[in-house]
């Protein structure tokens, strides 16, 4: 069986303070990796043993300053997870918000990949996992801004995978469905979340752990051949009617 240890590896996880990102950080630490987790506050709360860095993904200066950290630290693993959603009908989509969401979910992840890849090439090994969303694959009302950003992140990842595969670097996306995290609790009532759960073939909302387990598989040595994929983890919601 493949050794699943990440000892000697450094992982960067954006949005490592809460929900999906935090669960990813915990799993990396449990496997012996060193981890840098980011959040938006000057002093964010990350799991014990994780180094913390402040990062505001829609702020190019903040991204550039964190890119310098990445270029210096040369992580083996990069998980682009941080950020928020934004919902509005097409008539109400605000262009400033389009810029903010696309900076957060497309431009910043691209810059962080650019900063990380030279180090990964030096290691001759790298894993990039970008968190997309089912809204980037299947249409639902109010998701034009957010969904287009997540679709772009998928396209970015597939094309990136084509460039870096020869260097031992695998790049994939994970597309969560309805995950019962802070974002979902903020945007939906309990009755709405129950209706969502009922619409999913496995009859429950996903958990941060459901997503983190897939991320950690794709980011680890046990993944040797999956690249350029956008793996949907949604309890079957998108494929079953
Ligand atoms: N939850 C879902 O159902 C769902 C579904 C599909 C896709 N996703 C995607 O999964 C990823 C994680 O979502 P989640 O539900 O775990 O989110 P969450 O619980 O709201 O946590 C978001 C994380 O990202 C950080 N963050 C928020 N805004 C940021 C910004 N502007 N710049 C930098 N970092 C920022 C937060 O830091 P602070 O603690 O400092 O705020 C936190 O660590 C996101 O990319 C989201 O789009 C989630």
SS (H, E, C) the chain: CCCCCCCCCEEEECCCCCHHHHHHHHHHHHCCCEEEEEECCCCCCCCCCCEEEECCCCCHHHHHHHHHHHHHHCCCEEEECCCCCCCCCHHHCCHHHHHHHHHHHHHHHHHHHHHHHHHHHHHCCEEEEEECCHHHCCCCCCCHHHHHHHHHHHHHHHHHHHHHHHHCEEEEEEEECCECCHHHHHHCCHHHHHHHHHCCCCCCCECHHHHHHHHHHHHCCCCCCCCCCEEEECCCCCCCC
Supply the pTM of this predicted model: 0.98
pLDDT of residue 91 exceeding 90: yes
The 10 Å CB-count burial string (b at 16+, else e) for 126-147 is bbbbbbbbbbbbbeeebbbbbb
Q: How close is the Cα of 128 to the center of ligand 1, in Å?
A: 17
Which of 113, 91, 200 is CA-nearest to residue 163?
Answer: 113
pLDDT single digits (tens) 122-174 = 999 999 999 999 999 999 999 999 999 999 999 999 999 999 999 999 999 99
Average pLDDT of 39-54?
98
pLDDT of 2 higher than 70: no
Mean pLDDT value across residues 21-48: 98
Atom of ligand 1 nearest to the CA of 17: 43
Nearest residue CA, atom 11 of ligand 1? 81
Q: Where are the domains of the chain?
A: 10-180+208-232
Q: What is the pLDDT of residue 187?
A: 85
Which protein residues are within 6 Å of ligand 1, measured from CB?
Answer: 14-21, 39-41, 44, 55-58, 81-85, 104, 131, 133, 176, 178-179, 181-184
Q: Provide the CA 51 distance to its chain's centre, in angstroms.
A: 18
Residue 182 has pLDDT above 90, yes or no: no
Selected from 3.90.660.10, 1.10.10.10, 3.40.50.1980, 3.40.50.720, the CATH number assigned to the domain covering 10-180+208-232 reads 3.40.50.720
For residues 171 and 241, which has the higher predicted lDDT (pLDDT)?
Answer: 171
Give residue 184's pLDDT.
86
pLDDT average, residue stretch 54-68: 98
pLDDT tens digits, residue range 206-232? Answer: 999 999 999 999 999 999 999 999 999
Using CA atoms, how far apart are residues 29 and 98, in angstroms rounded to an integer? Answer: 35
The pLDDT score that the predictor gives to residue 4 is 81
Q: How far apart are CA 84 and CA 166, in angstroms?
A: 33
- How far away, in angstroms, is 35 Cα from ligand 1 center? 18
The percent of residues above 70 in pLDDT, for the chain, comes to 99
Q: Give the mean model confidence (pLDDT) for residues 8-32.
A: 98
Minimum-distance ligand 1 atom for the alpha carbon of 186:
20
């Amino acid at each position: 069986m493949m050794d699943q240890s990440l000892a000697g590896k450094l992982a960067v996880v954006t949005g490592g303070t809460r929900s999906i990102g935090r669960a990813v950080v915990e799993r990396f630490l449990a496997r012996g990796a060193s981890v840098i987790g980011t959040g938006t506050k000057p002093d964010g709360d990350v799991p014990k043993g994780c180094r913390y860095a402040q990062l505001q993904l829609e702020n190019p200066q903040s991204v550039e300053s964190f890119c310098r950290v990445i270029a210096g630290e040369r992580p083996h693993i990069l998980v682009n997870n941080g950020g928020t959603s934004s919902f509005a009908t097409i008539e109400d989509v605000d262009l400033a918000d389009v810029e903010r969401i696309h900076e957060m979910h497309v431009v910043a992840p691209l810059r962080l990949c650019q900063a990380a890849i030279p180090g990964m090439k030096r290691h001759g090994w790298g894993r990039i996992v970008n968190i997309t969303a089912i809204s980037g694959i299947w249409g639902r009302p109010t998701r034009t801004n957010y969904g287009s950003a997540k679709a772009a992140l998928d396209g970015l990842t597939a094309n990136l995978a084509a460039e870096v595969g020869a260097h031992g670097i695998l790049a994939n996306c994970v597309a969560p469905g309805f995950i019962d995290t802070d974002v979902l609790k903020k945007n939906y009532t309990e009755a709405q979340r129950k209706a969502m759960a009922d619409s999913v073939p496995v009859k429950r909302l996903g958990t941060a752990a459901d997503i983190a387990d897939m991320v950690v598989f794709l980011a680890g040595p046990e993944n040797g051949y999956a690249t350029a994929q956008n793996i949907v983890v949604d309890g079957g919601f998108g494929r079953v009617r």
